[in-house]
Structure 1
Amino acid sequence: MKLGILDQMPKPKGMTAEQTAAHTIELAQLAESLGYGRYWFAEHHATRGMISSAPEVMMAAVASQTQTIKVGSGGILMPQYSPFKVASQIAQLESLFPGRVEAGLGRSPGGAEFLRSLLADDKPNQMAEYPDKLRQLIAYLDGSAKVHAAPRTTNRPELYSLGLGENSALLAGLLGIGYVFGHFIQPDRGVAALQTYRETFSQGFMDTPSAKACVFVVCGEDDAHAEQLAHTQDIWLLNVEKGLDSQVPTPEAAEEKMRLLSEDEVKKVKNNRRRMIIGGPETVKVALDHLSDSYQCEDWLILCNIYDWEEKKQSFERLAALYLGDESYSLHPNKI
């Protein structure tokens, strides 16, 4: 199993953006030491709680403070940007950190229409032009366009398209680039999407198919401990979906909210758990192995948006002990 981290840089309530950024560098360094293969950054704008607004900058920051771990974007919001500018940024990163750059591109508008318009400098909505923008980006990087994005590096960075279903998988396959499925957003269509990608991939910008999937994981000391930790993520996600405060709530605030949930909110939290794996090491391994088998995917990007910084690090450490390094976590054979 290959593991990486997808970081939305969620800011815990009471912590500053500067502290959250410093913790991010620390977590990336820890991830590298534990054997995680990649560290990717999301792109969010105008939120109080998710402070990863410039994945290209964070990729450079983390790469400069680590040695081998790959850095990536998950993903750059292509409909709002110039493909040539994005290609130039990716090429620049590749020149600085050869062989360590993975550029994930997404179709999201980045938020409400007013925010999309700000990102696109008041240009008309270009969501439908995402496939064409991907093609232009590829052409600027592979030299088939009239203008080649500079710098012209010896090797090309890897390109991935992010998606939530068969249509996005088909596009990535036909373009010959990698594909990343967001189970942490849409847990119902991963099997079909990844199968579509594998069946339609044709050699293009990349020689061989490369598929990944993303999922929330909270790995505690045991199931009860993980459940307690996960409540801050449960309430955070509920608030984000309602357009409320996107800062990760304190455990005390989360527990208070959990006691006061309406019937509809209880259903929503339960449904959101389908986007997550929550449990002690044995439970997490059984669940992730099962999901990996269902998806036929052994390359995962992990999110963990709980409040407590030390517990968050330990969750990633426990997950690494299950799959990474020379000595992986040993479970009872009858539970695998």
Structure 2
Amino acid sequence: MKLSILDQAPIRRGVTPEDALQESIELAQHAEKLGYERYWFAEHHNTNGLVSVAPEIMATRIASATERIKVGTGGVLLPQYSPLKVAETFHTMAGLFPGRVDLGVGRSPGGTELTRSALADGAESGMGEFPRKLSELQGFLYNTLPREHRYRSVKASPRVKEPAPLWVLGLSEGSAKRAGELGIGYVFGHFISPAKPKAMPIYKEAFRPSVTRDTPYGIVCIFVVCAETEEKAEALAKSQDHWLLSVGKGRDTQVPSPELIEKRQLTEADKETIRQNRKRCVIGTPEKVRLELEKLQQQYEADEFMLITNIYDKEAKWKSYELIKRSVDRNNIM
């Protein structure tokens, strides 16, 4: 089982955006020491608590602060951007850090409709154009646009020897099939929609070798909180529970402190939402987390897991990633 990290770069209540950005750099360095496969950044806009608004910049900064771990995006909001511009940005990154850059793209609008419109400078929604843009992006990356394509003579620069591998983030069986047909990597968002384990088998069945990949490769992204005891893991997970609750209501996206959580009064509806959100998570001791991931690995036919841990305690967050990796590594050796 291979493990990676998706960083949404959340701000902990009372911490500045500058400090949150620095924490991401430090966590990535920690992840590299632990032996994680890759470290990706999400893209979110118009929030008060998620500072990963420019994942390309964050990934480049992380690459410069590390030596081996792969860096990337999970993912660039392709409907809002030009495929050529995205290809050239990642060609530049791949040229700076050969063999270490991943290009993950998604179909999300990036926020509310007003936010999406501002991001696209008032252009009409390009959500329906995602399949075309994804295909064109692959064409620009690998110089494989069809001869009849209107941009066939336009070449993405710089013309690096090894383009960044292309991945698509999805939540549906349709996105899985599309990724397979294009022959690119696929990342399923269990942390958003945990009810579709058939997506990965559909991706692998639909896979056709391409200029991007010879064989299918699927990653499942999931919320995880791990601690030495079940009680401690549950206590730490409260901040993530409340954070998810607030995000779901379109409210504060900063990770709440224990003191703030203690003051909150939860309704029965809130408690039920938290129970439902737990389906998006794995929480517990190292052994429990490993066993749960193994079960999900079989259900999804996953090649790798990408973990998200959005809890308030910084040291406990680092420790969570450490405990999970050591447990998985010990089992891999056995």
Which of the five TM-score ranges fits, normalised by the shorter chain? over 0.9
Partner of 2:71: 71
| Contact 1:231 1:255 survives alignment (8 Å) | no
Is it true that 1:201 corresponds to 2:203 in the alignment? no
Matched ranges for 1:139-154 at <5 A = 139-144=139-144, 145-154=152-161
Partner of 2:26: 26
| Contact 1:304 1:312 survives alignment (8 Å) | yes
Partner of 2:319: 314
- Quote the offset at 1:256 in angstroms: 3.2
Counterpart CA distance in 2 for 1:282 and 1:255 is 29
Partner of 1:58: 58
Question: Normalising by the residue count of structure 1, what TM-score does the alignment of the two structures yield?
Answer: 0.95
- Quote the offset at 1:136 in angstroms: 0.8
Counterpart CA distance in 2 for 1:132 and 1:254 is 45
Counterpart CA distance in 2 for 1:42 and 1:156 is 20
**Structure 1 gap ranges (5+):** 332-336
State the AA in 2 paired with 1:53. V
Question: Normalising by the residue count of structure 2, what TM-score does the alignment of the two structures yield?
Answer: 0.95
- Quote the offset at 1:206 in angstroms: 1.8
Counterpart CA distance in 2 for 1:269 and 1:40 is 26
| Contact 1:95 1:153 survives alignment (8 Å) | yes
Q: State the Cα RMSD in Å.
A: 1.3
Matched ranges for 1:196-275 at <5 A = 196-204=202-210, 205-257=212-264, 260-275=265-280
State the AA in 1 paired with 2:260. A
1:279 alignment partner, one of 267, 277, 284:
284
| Contact 2:194 2:280 survives alignment (8 Å) | yes
State the AA in 1 paired with 2:319. Q
Secondary structure in structure 2 of the residue aligned to 1:71 = strand
Counterpart CA distance in 1 for 2:35 and 2:331 is 11
Partner of 1:334: none
- Quote the offset at 1:253 in angstroms: 1.5
C-alpha deviations, 1:235-276, integer Å up to 9, x for none? 00100111111100001212332xx21111111000000000
| Contact 2:78 2:130 survives alignment (8 Å) | yes
Counterpart CA distance in 1 for 2:156 and 2:252 is 39
| Contact 1:321 1:329 survives alignment (8 Å) | no
Secondary structure in structure 1 of the residue aligned to 2:191 = coil
| Contact 1:322 1:330 survives alignment (8 Å) | no
Counterpart CA distance in 1 for 2:172 and 2:199 is 5
Matched ranges for 1:36-115 at <5 A = 36-115=36-115
- Quote the offset at 1:328 in angstroms: 5.2
- Quote the offset at 1:146 in angstroms: 2.1
Q: Structure 1 residues 223 and 329, CA, compared in 2 at 3 Å: closer, same or farther?
A: farther
- Quote the offset at 1:330 in angstroms: 9.4
C-alpha deviations, 1:294-336, integer Å up to 9, x for none? 1111301000000010110010110111123xx55999xxxxx
- Matched residue count: 326
C-alpha deviations, 1:25-70, integer Å up to 9, x for none? 1100000000001000000011110110000000100000000000
Counterpart CA distance in 1 for 2:232 and 2:302 is 28
**Structure 2 gap ranges (5+):** 145-151
Partner of 2:119: 119
Counterpart CA distance in 2 for 1:232 and 1:103 is 30
Q: Larger deviation: 80-89 or 137-146?
A: 137-146
Counterpart CA distance in 1 for 2:216 and 2:153 is 27
Secondary structure in structure 1 of the residue aligned to 2:141 = helix
Moved over 6 A (4+): none
Is it true that 1:297 corresponds to 2:302 in the alignment? yes
